[in-house]
Chains A and B, each alone.
Chain A
Amino acid sequence: MNSRFPKRNSSGSVLAELSQLRDELRVRLHLAGLEVRAQWESVEPKLLGLERSLEQQGEGAFEAAGELAVEVVKAFRDFSVRSQEGGPSRAPVHDVMRVRVYTCSPTDTLHRAAQIMWEKDCGCLPVIDSVRVVRAVITDRDVCMAALIQGVPLADARVSSAMSRSLTVCSPDDTLGAVEDVMRHSQIRRVPVVDADGVLVGMISLGDIARYLQPRMQQAPASVAQLLETLAGISEPRARPSVLPPPMV
């Protein structure tokens, strides 16, 4: 008999194990998407076939059914792995985002923005208006480059002069996988989370996703692969800036 087959001396206990595994997987199916359901429909009939074959031929036929049993066990194990792989990347942003987010306004000075970044140990602030609608983000790098280009003390420059001009946001209902696509595409690692009116509800970073995946990595190789693709994509050098800053004063 194939050595990969679990060491059991009775086909009954193998069947019991498979049945238990099937029940667990059925529960998990309720949480899974259509893709996994389709996979399930190709796997479940194999166990039914095995059960029927053993019923008809009795205990003694177990050796004969050995190859079929090996196939069924392998199919179930593969399915078990794959059905979990979709898991972490399909989790919604609101399960992972940070809700305590420090912000600034377009009229704040860069000195104030940098002070918040220093005190709160963060590198990126959403820039919001009076009704908390996100207008832009500003990073420590933006402040650094504004200080270079404008050549003035940070107290003499406004956030509006340094903040990003294009804004990328996501919804709390987006999946982690979708947000990672956005990060990879825009080469950003931090994305504000806004509601349907554009009002700030949180912030999510690639690091937040990494920490969310951490306890689940062994069961979710596909999610880990996607995470690293995203990190590699973000880290790739952008095209050289076409416009150089004006010479320093």
Chain B
Amino acid sequence: MRIDEIMTRNVRSIAPDDTLGTAAQIMWENDCGAVPVVEADGRLVGIVTDRDICMAAQLQGSPLHDSRVSSAMARDVKTCSPRDTPVTVQAIMQQNKIRRVPVVDDQGRLVGIVTLGDFAYLVSRNPDGADGMTWTAVAHTLAAVSQPRIARFAAGYTDRSSGRQNFPPNT
């Protein structure tokens, strides 16, 4: 099985120069918590979440339509290929403590997104495991991504917000 068989296609994306207001509007309309950020040529350059927007609004103190997506997005995005197997991508999630992975083609252009929820759905419908993907592997990943960030620092994991220059360290 390949990731492009289970990923969500036609993902709504946003440009780095768009405002956080537009990003929040997309999240509202699509009931999603993350929007991939792409350049005009379709290349993925970041991802912005509802939490990022909340924190940017708090730190910048301005209305959302006065802030650019580029000021709040995470730039160090872990991605996968449409040809990867679910097992590979689930390992990426577990290692990096992330629940969403954008899918990009060989040119780095966004083609979809896959979430831990997709994997949970996949194994829930395939009780004997789906193509090497086991119940326990997905459950372990859920436990890993739910680990508090402070504990992740203590365990030596890198934090994905390190790509955000404008965010002060957590003090």
Contact = CB atoms under 8 A, between A and B. Distances in A.
A53 to B, nearest CB: 37
Nearest to B66: A153
Contact of A121 (B59, B115, B146, B150): B150
A207 B143 contact: yes
B91 interface: no
Contacts, number: 148
Given A144-B51, A229-B120, A235-B115, 5 more contacts: A121-B150, A145-B50, A148-B28, A228-B120, A231-B142
Interface of B: 21, 24-25, 27-33, 50-51, 53-55, 57-59, 61-65, 115-118, 120-121, 123-124, 127, 135-136, 138-140, 142-143, 145-150, 170-171
B170 A119 contact: yes
Contacts of B135: 221, 224-225, 228
Contacts of B63: 147, 151-153, 249
A178 interface: no
Nearest to A123: B51
Interface residues on A, range: 35 or more
Contact of B54 (A144, A153, A155): A144
B50 A144 contact: yes
Contacts of B123: 228
A211 B141 CA distance: 10
Contacts of B54: 114, 117, 140-141, 143-144, 147
A118 B54 CA distance: 9
Contact of B57 (A141, A144, A228): A144
A236 to B, nearest CB: 7
A237 B50 CA distance: 16
10 contacts: A147-B53, A147-B57, A210-B143, A210-B146, A213-B143, A214-B139, A218-B136, A240-B29, A241-B31, A248-B21
